[in-house]
């Protein structure tokens, strides 16, 4: 007698999501082969049947056992979660199948992890998308990075499987850095853990925030594309035949008088042979004004909508010749704009802690054979630190130290690293307070991480020592964490307030970057530009 091999998909983890065809295949099978966890989901349909459940790590042994039983004339169901044909058991069975095997084969499809996670987030995979496993057990890591880079360059939505394990804790962060090299930092993403299983959790954040999170093998990441949008707490990606004008997508592109003006049209108006000033600070905006005042056209690029509004006021109050762009445009759009406008020089005046952006700009300058100048305001850690000040080499170190010593901790580090502090072990035993820029996305991010609204100060600085002292006293703060932001970033006022209150000040050291040319003031930048 010829046997039969049913390769049965049992979905993400609940009987409600198992297809009727799968139930039929289970009921007709004499023998069930599968991992024990998956068998719990199908218990009503396999009672009284012969069951084999080799451990999770013995996938090939499971497939071989199912084949041998089918060859002996039995009707066998080989079980896999999700879809058995996607990162699962079907391929192992086909690999070991022989051309002279006579048993019948049927593959029963199911709901994949990608489909399950997407449904909990909304509809983020409505246009072209890719899936990528971050496990290098069966695939060289170099291949994984190459595929990730192609996904990012194409700006495909994507789902990452096998995100993080104890044996490869850093791989996912390398992949996220690749994503950030090519995709917009404000790309909407989803973090889904245990989809449709006990302990399910779902979170929406931006691509920029993901490197500050921690994951595990039960987590899948859903990465949107530049058009992915929010709606009522969900995210969705428009389909290809809709209105894809980028200016209609919240948070994108150039500052323009006409809100409906396409980004492409704005880009066409970029001044030729301009100095491109990438600014994330007030002194960076002042630098752009000085350069324009000496007759060189300037493109002033700010990362956020609020930064764009400030930059636009600077442009309106100063000499003509400043063209303002705002929003996280991504490396590919920057590359095209710089090349199309025949940029004269890249002046990197981004925040001292915007390490990824600085490295991206240096890489673009080298690729396009453009001069690169770094404008960085002086820090304060070279001076004698006030009593009670302690310098930390990283946000992680500062988080652990603050949690160890204090209970009511004020973060003056901005929104980018908020997740690092709140996800550190022991964070739940402390009360956290934060001051962030008044950007809607930053506020949503803080709230989504569980920050109480009453613990958020959403204001634009810098702030006086008296203001800091009054706020921290009122909130009962017993520790402050800040960056070495320099006087322009209000470091002195924070240091003085902490000293007046007698509370520790933890200062995170600036990233160590080997800039090719660097100046600490406007005069220095202008002098370097004169030599170009």
| Domain-located, residue 384 | no
In a domain, 177, yes or no: yes
Q: What's 475's domain CATH number? A: 3.40.50.620
Asked, for residue 242, whether it belongs to a domain, the answer is no
204's tokens: 């929406």
The CA distances from residue 244 to 183, 321, 358, in Å, are 17, 30, 30
Question: Mean pLDDT over residues 403-425, rounded?
Answer: 91
Any domain includes 290: yes
pLDDT at 498: 94
pLDDT of residue 318: 59
Q: What is the domain-level CATH number for residue 519? A: 3.40.50.720
Instruction: Supply the pTM of this predicted model.
Output: 0.54
Dist CA 419 CA 147 (whole Å)? 28
**CATH code (residue 224):** 3.30.950.10
The pLDDT tens digits for 110-166 are 999 999 999 999 999 999 999 999 988 878 889 999 999 999 999 999 999 998 887
Task: Specify the pLDDT at position 315.
Answer: 66
Domain count, the chain: 4
Q: Quickly list DSSP for 149-162.
A: HHHHHTT-EEEEES
Same domain, 375 and 257: yes
Give the chain's mean pLDDT.
86
Among 95, 111, 127, residue at a domain's last position: 111
Statement to judge: residues 226 and 303 lie in one domain = no
Q: Are residues 259 and 330 in the same domain?
A: yes
417/480 same-domain check = yes
* Residue 382: per-residue pLDDT: 55
Residue 272 tokens, joined: 């030729």
Report pLDDT for 328. 66
Residue 73 lies in a domain: yes
| CA angle (528, 530, 532) in 5-degree steps | 80
- Asked if 468 and 494 touch (Cβ cutoff 8 Å), the reply is yes
Whether residues 371 and 260 share a domain: the answer is yes
pLDDT at 329: 67
Q: Specify whether 354 is located in the same domain as 403.
A: no
The answer to whether the beta carbons of residues 308 and 253 sit under 8 Å apart is: no
Answer whether residue 238 shows pLDDT above 90.
no
pLDDT of residue 342: 92
- At 243, is the pLDDT very low, low, confident or very high (cuts 50, 70, 90)? very low
Distance, CA of 193 to CA of 525 (rounded, Å):
48
For residue 226, give Cα distances in angstroms to 145, 329, 334, 437, 458: 21, 9, 14, 23, 26
Angle, CA 447 vertex, CA 156 and CA 502 arms, to 5°? 125
Q: Which of 102-111, 408-417, 475-484 is least confident?
A: 408-417
Q: Are residues 251 and 356 in the same domain?
A: yes
The continuous run of DSSP H or E covering 324 comes out as: strand 322-326
Of 415, 476, 467, 460, the closest CA to residue 441 belongs to 415
**Of 155-159, 191-195, 363-367, 377-381, minimum mean pLDDT range:** 377-381
Q: Which domain holds residue 410?
A: 389-508
Domain edge (last residue) among 70, 95, 111: 111
- Binned at pLDDT 50, 70 and 90, residue 251 comes out as very low
Does one domain contain both 289 and 374? yes
Helix axes 282-293, 522-530, angle to 10 degrees: 40
Q: Give burial (CB, 10 Å; 0-12/13-18/19+) of 51.
A: middle
Give pLDDT, residue 454. Answer: 95
Q: Is the pLDDT of residue 88 over 60?
A: yes
Confidence of residue 275 (pLDDT cuts 50, 70, 90): very high
Q: Residue 266's pLDDT band (boundaries 50, 70, 90)? A: very low
Whether 383 has a pLDDT exceeding 50, the answer reads no
Domain of 86, CATH number, reads 3.40.1010.10
Same domain, 118 and 165: yes
Residues 251 and 372 grouped into a single domain: yes
Mean pLDDT of 65-91: 93
Per-residue model confidence (pLDDT) at position 444: 80
Helices and strands counted in the chain (H then E): 19, 25
Q: What is the pLDDT of residues 15-39, one digit of tens each?
A: 889 999 999 999 999 999 998 888 8
Q: Helices 491-501 and 465-475: crossing angle, nearest 10°?
A: 50
* Rg of the chain in Å (alpha carbons): 28
Burial class (CB in 10 A: 0-12, 13-18, 19+), 268: exposed
Inform me whether the pLDDT recorded for 258 exceeds 50: no
pLDDT > 90: what percent of the chain?
52
Q: Would you state the pLDDT for residue 223?
A: 96
How far apart CA 6 and CA 221 sit, in angstroms, is 30
Question: Among 42-51, 101-110, 314-323, 403-412, whose mean pLDDT is lowest?
Answer: 314-323
- Do the beta carbons of residue 345 and residue 519 sit within 8 Å? no
For residues 161-179, one letter each, b for 16 or more C-beta atoms within 10 angstroms of the residue's C-beta and e for the rest, the string is bbbbeeebeebbeebbebb
Give the closest residue to 437 by CA, choosing from 233, 203, 280, 311.
Answer: 280
Sheet of 4-9, strand order: 50-52, 31-33, 75-80, 4-9, 104-108
277 shares its domain with 218: no
Does 106 share its domain with 118? no
Instruction: Take residue 62 and report the two structure tokens written for it.
Output: 């499971």
CB atoms under 10 Å from CB of 306, counted, come to 17
284 touches 349 (CB < 8 A): yes
Using the predicted structure, report yes or no on whether residue 386 has a pLDDT greater than 70.
Answer: no
pLDDT value, residue 246: 44
Q: Looking at residue 144, what DSSP letter applies?
A: H
**Residue 394 zone, left/alpha/beta (φ > 0; ψ -120 to 50; rest):** beta
Q: What is the pLDDT of residue 85?
A: 93
What span, in angstroms and rounded, lies between the C-alpha atoms of 528 and 532? 7
């Amino acid at each position: 007698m010829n046997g039969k091999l049913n390769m049965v998909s049992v979905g993400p983890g609940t009987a409600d999501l198992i297809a009727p065809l799968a139930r039929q295949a289970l009921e007709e099978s004499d023998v069930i082969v599968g991992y024990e966890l998956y068998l719990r989901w199908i218990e009503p349909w396999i009672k009284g049947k012969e069951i084999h459940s080799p451990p999770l790590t013995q996938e090939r042994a499971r497939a071989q056992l199912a084949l041998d039983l089918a060859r002996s004339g039995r009707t066998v169901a080989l079980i896999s979660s999700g879809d058995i044909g996607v990162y699962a058991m079907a391929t192992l069975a086909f690999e070991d199948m022989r051309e002279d095997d006579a048993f019948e084969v049927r593959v029963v499809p199911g709901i994949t992890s990608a489909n399950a996670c997407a449904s909990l987030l909304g509809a983020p995979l409505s246009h072209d998308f890719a899936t990528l496993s971050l496990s290098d057990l069966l695939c060289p890591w170099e291949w994984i990075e190459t595929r990730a880079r192609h996904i990012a360059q194409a700006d495909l939505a994507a789902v990452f499987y096998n995100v993080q394990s104890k044996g490869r804790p850093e791989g996912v962060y390398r992949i996220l850095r690749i994503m950030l090299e090519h995709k917009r930092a404000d790309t909407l993403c989803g973090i889904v853990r245990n989809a449709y299983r006990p302990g399910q959790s779902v979170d929406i954040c931006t691509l920029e925030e993901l490197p500050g999170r921690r994951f595990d093998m039960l987590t899948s990441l859903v990465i949107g594309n530049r058009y992915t949008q929010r709606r009522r707490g969900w995210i969705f990606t428009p389909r290809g035949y809709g209105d894809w004008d980028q200016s209609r997508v919240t948070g994108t592109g150039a500052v323009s008088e006409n809100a409906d003006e396409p980004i492409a049209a704005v880009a066409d108006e970029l001044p030729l042979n301009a100095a491109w000033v990438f600014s994330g600070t007030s002194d960076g905006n002042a630098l752009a004004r000085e350069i324009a005042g000496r007759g060189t056209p300037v493109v002033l690029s700010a990362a956020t909508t609020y930064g764009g509004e400030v930059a636009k006021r600077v442009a309106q109050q100063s000499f003509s010749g400043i063209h303002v762009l705002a929003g996280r445009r991504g490396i590919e759009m920057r590359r095209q704009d710089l090349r199309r406008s025949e940029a004269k020089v890249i002046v990197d005046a981004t925040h001292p802690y915007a390490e990824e952006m600085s490295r991206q700009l240096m890489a673009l300058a080298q690729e396009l054979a453009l001069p690169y100048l770094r404008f960085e305001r002086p820090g304060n850690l070279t001076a004698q630190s006030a009593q009670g000040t302690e310098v930390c080499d990283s946000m992680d170190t500062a988080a652990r130290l603050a949690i160890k010593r204090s209970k009511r901790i004020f973060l003056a580090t901005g929104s980018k690293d908020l997740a690092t502090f709140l996800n550190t072990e022991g964070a739940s035993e402390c009360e956290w307070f934060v001051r962030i820029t008044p950007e809607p996305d930053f506020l949503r991010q803080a709230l989504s991480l569980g920050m109480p609204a009453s613990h958020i100060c959403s204001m634009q600085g810098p702030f006086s020592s008296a203001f800091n002292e009054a706020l921290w006293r009122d909130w009962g703060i017993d520790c402050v964490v800040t960056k070495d932001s320099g006087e322009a970033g209000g470091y002195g006022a924070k240091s003085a307030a902490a000293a007046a209150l007698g509370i520790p000040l933890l200062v995170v050291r600036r990233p160590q970057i080997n800039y090719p040319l660097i100046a600490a003031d406007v005069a220095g930048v202008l002098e370097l530009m004169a030599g170009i």
